[in-house]
Structures are given as C-alpha cells and as structure tokens.
Amino acid sequence: MNNASIKWAIDTLLEKGYQTQSNTPDIIQDNPWSTVYRFQTNQGFIFLKQVPSALSLEPKVINILRSEFNAAAPFIIEENEDQHAFLMKDAGIPWHHYFKQHFNADILIQAIHAYINLQIAITNRTDLFLELGVPNWCLENLPSLYKELISQEALLVDDGLSKEEIMKLKQLEPKLAFLCELLMRYNIKDTFGHADFHDKNILINPDNGVTTIIDLGEVVITYPLFSFHNCLHMAKENFSLTDDQYYQLQVACIKPWLEFETKEHLFDILAIITQCWSIHAVLGEYRLMKSINKNDFKKMRKGRFANKLKFWLNTA
C-alpha cells in the first residue's frame, strides 16, 4: 500500500465531510499501471486510484468530459498531482459482471450510442485533449507509430516474434498506410477514443441502468471505429454471441453514425478496421509498457505484442 496517498485520501475525505469506517481500504486492483483502493464511508464507497506519471492525465480528461460535454464519466472528488492519485465516487459495477448474470443488448446499445454521440461532439474540439498531452493517433499518424513500434526488434523478439516475422511486418508498412488512406476517404473523422474500450471498462449502476466509462487515462485522439470494433468484438467473445447476434448488435450500434455515412459504407469501414484493428490494440500495449517498468510489463503481459502482430500478419 502507498501510505502517503492513503493518508492524503483519508485527510481529504474527512475535510469534505466523509467518515471512513476504516483507515485501511480494500485493494480492488493492484498492477504496475493502476492501483485502486476502496473506502467504505458514510456516503457509500469512495475509490482512490493511483497511476504512473505517464497515465496521470486521467482526472483532467474526466473533468473536461464532464464540464464541457456532460459525459458519463466518474465524479472526481479531489486530485493529488504529486502522488498521481485521485478520489472518485462509486459509479456501479463493471458491465462484464452485470452481464454475466443476464446479457442485456439494449443496455449495451444505449451505452454505445452515448459513447458515439460523445465522440461526435468532440470531433471539432479535439484540441482540448491534445493540449493536455493526450496522444495523437489520428489516421495520418498511425503508419509512423507502427513503424516506430516494429523498429523495436529486440523487444519484439523477446516477446515471441521471429526475425522473419519482423521483416514481414516491415514489408506491411505500405499496406497499413493504404488502409488508413481508405478510411480517410469516408465522412467519419478522427476524434476522442478510448484505447481500451470494452465491457470491463464501463460501469453500470444496477439500480438505474446509468453507465459510466472508466480507465480514461488510456484515451487518445484517433479514428472512432477502432474502439467501437474493440468493444463489440470483446462483447461477442465474452458473452458467446452468435454471428447473427453480433451482426444485429453492429446494426443497432452504428445508428448514430448514419448521420454521416450509409449503412453499406459503415460496414465497409468495419471491414477495413477488422484488418488493422490489432495495430491499434498493440499500440495501446506499447504505450502501457512505456508507462511502467519493462520487467513488470513482461511479467504480466508477455506475448501481447507478438499475438496482436501475428494477427495482423494473418489478416493483412
């Protein structure tokens, strides 16, 4: 436990009128890129989150989302910039746990629509996030980010790729650039995106059905349908949806984008995303690795680069 951040949390809660039942909080999550503690108080659960410096933009991102866009994001009680920590109110349980009891497509669709509408609202205001230091993964930048990643040969070999596979990955640079160019021809523009958007990073209040996006330290400015595809793909895997159920879910969830593109074009876009989606995902792993100790990353995530890049090799 980080005693300094816990002491700060307890003192802050007392100053703001909260009474904690214990000075020793429960540890909800403990890994190199995020430690989350839970305090039981007279006003319900309060969570303390501590992250590495490289991911410490999260509370500032949340405050912009809430103040400028009225987004469904956690309520921040207080931030400690020195400790890279912040306190937030309880917002419910992860979708993943809630849907394990009963998968509800309507709730998923409603939450996806809210997320897409937020992305649409941010399209012309991405500067608010770029000025904070949120990474720019827009389509025109993805090929250079990919090139930087696959130049890390020692890292990739250590993670499970052969030198022959790395050579093939380098030969696919023009293919990725071509796919990005194809996506830029459509009327969907780069905007705000959660680089790890899935059912475990969305909370639901079981009493009223309100959903809240969490882990917002991993946001980027990027093509919006990468996170859309990731969320639906994970839902299909996690809840064993049939191909038909998955297709119907896609049809229902893309509706907000019909203001900008036809259904046919949107499915063309998703077909392109399916080819290069793993590149976006592996860039998220690379960003995570750079934010923590490399040895800690290898212990917990070994094979993540290799698996995603092999998927790209197989599909491209």
CATH number of domain containing 61: 3.30.200.20
CATH number for position 282: 3.90.1200.10
* Strand order across the 211-213 sheet: 93-94, 202-204, 211-213
CB 61 within 8 A of CB 48: no
Q: Could you tell me which residues come within 8 angstroms of residue 27 by beta carbon, excluding any fewer than 6 positions away?
A: 1, 35, 36, 37, 38
Q: Residue range 206-218: average pLDDT? A: 88
Q: What is the dihedral of CA 27, 214, 111, 102, to 10 degrees?
A: -20
Q: Are residues 281 and 202 in the same domain?
A: yes
The DSSP secondary-structure symbol of 189 reads -
Q: Could you tell me which residues come within 8 angstroms of residue 174 by beta carbon, excluding any fewer than 6 positions away?
A: none
pLDDT of residue 59: 97
* Residue 116 lies in domain: 93-315
CB 176 within 8 A of CB 142: yes
Pairing of strands 219-222, 136-137: parallel
Q: Residue range 108-118: average pLDDT? A: 94
Percentage of the chain exceeding pLDDT 70: 99
Q: What are the start-end ranges of the H helices in the chain? A: 3-15, 58-69, 95-101, 105-122, 127-130, 142-150, 153-159, 163-171, 173-184, 225-238, 243-253, 263-291, 294-301, 304-315
pLDDT of residue 208: 84
- Copy the structure tokens of residue 6: 């816990």
Q: Are residues 41 and 119 in the same domain?
A: no
The residue among 54, 73, 89 that closes a domain is 89
Note the pLDDT tens digit of each residue in 11-30. 999 999 999 998 899 999 99
For the chain, the domain total comes to: 2
Res. 292: pLDDT tops 70: yes
The residue among 89, 124, 147 that closes a domain is 89
User: Any bridge partners for residue 164, and if so which?
Assistant: none
Q: Are residues 73 and 117 in the same domain?
A: no
Q: Are residues 31 and 112 in the same domain?
A: no
Q: Are residues 114 and 69 in the same domain?
A: no
Q: Are residues 196 and 222 in the same domain?
A: yes
Q: Are residues 141 and 60 in the same domain?
A: no
In one-letter notation, the amino acid at residue 12 is: T
Model confidence band, residue 2 (pLDDT cutoffs 50, 70, 90) = confident
Q: Are residues 123 and 82 in the same domain?
A: no
Q: Residue range 183-189: average pLDDT? A: 98
Res. 137: pLDDT tops 70: yes
Q: Are residues 222 and 169 in the same domain?
A: yes
Q: Are residues 132 and 153 in the same domain?
A: yes
Q: Are residues 210 and 249 in the same domain?
A: yes
7 half-sphere exposure, CB direction, 13 A CA radius: 4
Q: Are residues 148 and 249 in the same domain?
A: yes
pTM: 0.94
pLDDT of residue 1: 67
The residue among 89, 110, 134 that closes a domain is 89
Res. 96: pLDDT tops 80: no
Model confidence band, residue 140 (pLDDT cutoffs 50, 70, 90) = very high
Note the pLDDT tens digit of each residue in 296-308. 887 888 899 999 9
Note the pLDDT tens digit of each residue in 219-256. 999 999 999 999 999 999 888 899 999 999 999 999 99
Model confidence band, residue 142 (pLDDT cutoffs 50, 70, 90) = very high
pLDDT of residue 198: 87
